[in-house]
Amino acid sequence: MMPRTITCERATPPHGHYSHATVHQGVVYVSGVLGNGAGNADVPSPAIGDQARYCLSQIALILAEAESSMGEVLKLNVYIADLADWPEVNNICATFFEAHRPARIVVPCGSGLRLGSTIEMDVIAACAS
């Protein structure tokens, strides 16, 4: 079975030569989503809470396109410029995942992230196909 790429028309377009996600053998691998919405007309404010909500909302759209959902996330990777912002981001994650608790890693990136974002997230999730 060949991997299948996912393009989600409702999500911010990728900023390079990559897809929103790749599906292979019942697993969807979602590319990193920048929190500042770079390249999108609906750019969230620089506040970390807005950026975290933006990342997770975009991820939810991409997962839906791949016939998956936030409840099927196996692993969440969070890259954050300032670890002091982590408690707020953690609380926002809890609202998106509710009782579901995927495996997770939080990586501090003190020098910041691409295109001026202060947070980036990606996930690995189970899916139907």
Go through the domains of the chain in sequence order and give each one's CATH number: 37-126 (3.30.1330.40)
* CA dist., res. 76 & res. 124, Å (int): 7
Residues 6 or more apart whose CB falls under 8 angstroms from that of 40 comprise: 12
20, two tokens: 């929103």
Mean pLDDT score of the chain: 91
State residue 68 phi and psi, 5-degree precision: -135, -170
Question: What would the pLDDT profile of 45-67 be if each residue is shown by its tens digit?
Answer: 688 999 999 999 999 999 999 99
Over range 22-31, report the average pLDDT: 97
The whole-number average pLDDT for the span 100-108 is 96
Kindly tell me the burial class for residue 69, based on how many C-beta atoms sit within 10 Å of its own C-beta (0-12, 13-18, 19 or more).
middle
d(CA 128, CA 25): 9
Amino acid identity for residue 126 in this structure:
A
Give the pTM: 0.92
Quote the DSSP letter at residue 14. Answer: P
